[in-house]
Chains A and B, each alone.
Chain A
């Protein structure tokens, strides 16, 4: 049973690495004149939509209330997040190689910290876009902010903004959970063997 912690960790690294192939988060805007909804996907290295024009379309809608343009080039996280994820993955593989409870714990805590920091960072960006509005916006509603929820849905004027983890985010969550499971398995096994 000693190897199960190792395999679980490798699986957790695999799930984490799905972030390179699947988006982390999705935000959908719904309004009557958008029967299909407008969905934006946040990746670790890019922002995409359900069509090549989605980001432009969201920016056009946002500019009426004075939100800043969402320009992936101006978000530095998108350039260094892939390295952080890669490093975290390598760390996981290293932990699996060493196969010691303490290393597993250290890896799991690092994973948790980085994931929490990443989501907090995402929240800060959402806050910034939603609150930092232009003074010359054509549509000004006193007291109204346009920050979409982190998880869940919220009405922002005529739009219902729905925000949830996407495939990559869900995989990362499972990976995070498995990283702790690995630690506990490893710990129990090492106790038994002593």
Chain B
């Protein structure tokens, strides 16, 4: 990985030198971008107290989280913990959220989150959920956009490196999960050099329940052991198809930067998932043993629960003719992007200068004519010339991703030449280009991978930051750049740093989401097994060496706030219910010496902090969220006696 980065940076350097050999002053002023564009500040200025026009959901990349930014201001609104524990919110530390991070490997406290994907209705983001993939230990998370909290995490079996995920179909029927690293299926202790014989690539279709959003692995398609990199669903006329890019069709297992870059063309795999449904209904799916977990958070009990699954339905291409075709696409295609009409499938060959645009109509025609160039392990390969609509002569190098403005234009990022190129879906000619700072990966136009983009802004999500901000030592925040794309020429408006790596992002008009955002949880509807709904019910109960503290929090005291009868080595559970029913009055709880994080409890919610005291004495606990004028008084003491003593249970407040 490091070597790859080095090589790419060297290439970038080489091209940088070649392309901007102008005088130093010029290049430094042009680096400030079209900042000259006098009204840039005005365009991104959102006055104090005013709201942004768009919610932008940016992946935290290797932070494992999902961040929410307002556009056009670039203001950070929230970091939603998803795949990584977060002490700030007690996520993965409190008893309620721990199950969300459980996997078949046990508790995994981190992942690499790449692609946020909004749920869609009729091909348009509907603002109900946003999904994001965990790349390292293959998972998909669903975040509920009424609470902006992680509601579910499903583990993907038979997968390794869940990168081509979680791209969604136009009515949120499925999110997909293609494996970037093929692995032995089922997992087996085999020689790595037996890759070609033993390794397979699984593409998973994860169904989404239309009512409550619950995910299940509906089926998997087992394919040759390539690296399946990215995906996008067909839309409109191509609805019912899913397209995955692949590289390493060489099926190498070592030094892939060289060995996986040998074939002139790799494939885009076109999967007819409607056909897959027919094959499943006809009983062609094979049950394959697979251990994985689905973790669901219940908003009424305020708890997550892990559900075990033991098998998965698998479709094999040889049993299912017409299920899958390979479209030859030059130079290790990375992103595969489908235009708003569903007519064109853009393959971004990352080691190429040009872009390949396939035609869906031509693909269907070639399939009908059975005009095949051959097959790979029984999978028909179409003729490149039969399916290609156009090759865009970009003038850049290293295309990665393309999004659309809904006005007949496409925008493609070029990592190596560090720029965004705008081109026409009619003439396939380049219309405009603008530099990015530096080495852009994904780009995002609000709704830009849907049927109806809001084609006003474009955000470049950059991999390299260097000198863009005040230096902060060797490690720098990654950078995002906002461009105005409403006119003929793209204009740079704003630079802003992001958390982790802003790998990919999606954005949606604020009006679709903001009205559904919850302010509190109803205390009346709280079904947590350890809820305490009134202060009068607060108490301490001992069960063997477990002590359950039923605690309430309300401005500005905790009840009970004097607790005795705890012994060293007890398992002490603080079940704290926030009795508030007012907007933006969270309470926190922290306990001195607890090898744990704080709790951060929203109004009407119950959360549990587990503490195993290691020393006897009297220890303070307090509210951590500045809740009120008497927040500093919101504190209490818990007395821990040596093991075996018989200090009676005491649970009081105000006595």
Interface residues of A (CB under 8 A from B): 51-53, 56-57, 60, 64, 138-139
Contact = CB atoms under 8 A, between A and B. Distances in A.
A138 B556 CA distance: 11
A53 B629 contact: no
A138 B582 contact: no
A64 B629 CA distance: 9
A60 B603 CA distance: 14
Nearest to B522: A52
B630 A57 contact: no
Contact of B520 (A53, A138, A139): A53
Interface string B172-204: 000000000000000000000000000000000
A17 B51 CA distance: 43
A40 to B, nearest CB: 13
Nearest to B603: A53
A96 B622 CA distance: 66
B352 interface: no
B300 interface: no
Given A53-B580, A60-B554, 20 more contacts: A52-B524, A52-B581, A53-B520, A53-B523, A53-B581, A56-B579, A56-B580, A56-B581, A56-B582, A57-B581, A57-B582, A60-B555, A60-B580, A60-B582, A64-B628, A64-B629, A64-B630, A138-B629, A138-B630, A139-B629
Interface in B571-629: 579-582, 603, 628-629
B581 A51 contact: yes
Interface in B542-582: 554-555, 579-582
A51 B582 CA distance: 9
Kindly list the 8 A-B residue pairs having the minimum CB-CB distance in the complex, ordered from nearest.
A53-B581, A57-B582, A60-B555, A56-B581, A138-B630, A53-B582, A64-B629, A52-B581
Contacts of B520: 53
Contacts of B580: 53, 56-57, 60
B521 to A, nearest CB: 11
Interface residues of B, number: 15
B242 to A, nearest CB: 44
Contacts of B628: 64
Contacts of B522: 52
Contacts of B582: 53, 56-57, 60
A112 B262 CA distance: 97
B522 to A, nearest CB: 8
Nearest to A56: B581
Contacts of A60: 554-555, 580, 582
A64 B554 CA distance: 12
A52 B603 CA distance: 13
Contacts of A56: 579-582
Nearest to A53: B581
A83 B633 CA distance: 46
A64 B627 CA distance: 13
Nearest to A38: B582
B586 to A, nearest CB: 14
A51 B580 CA distance: 12
Contacts of A53: 520, 523, 580-582, 603
B553 to A, nearest CB: 12
Contacts of B555: 60
A139 to B, nearest CB: 7
A53 B603 CA distance: 10
Contacts of A64: 628-630
24 contacts: A52-B522, A52-B524, A52-B581, A53-B520, A53-B580, A53-B581, A53-B582, A53-B603, A56-B579, A56-B580, A56-B581, A57-B580, A57-B581, A57-B582, A60-B554, A60-B555, A60-B580, A60-B582, A64-B628, A64-B629, A64-B630, A138-B630, A138-B633, A139-B629
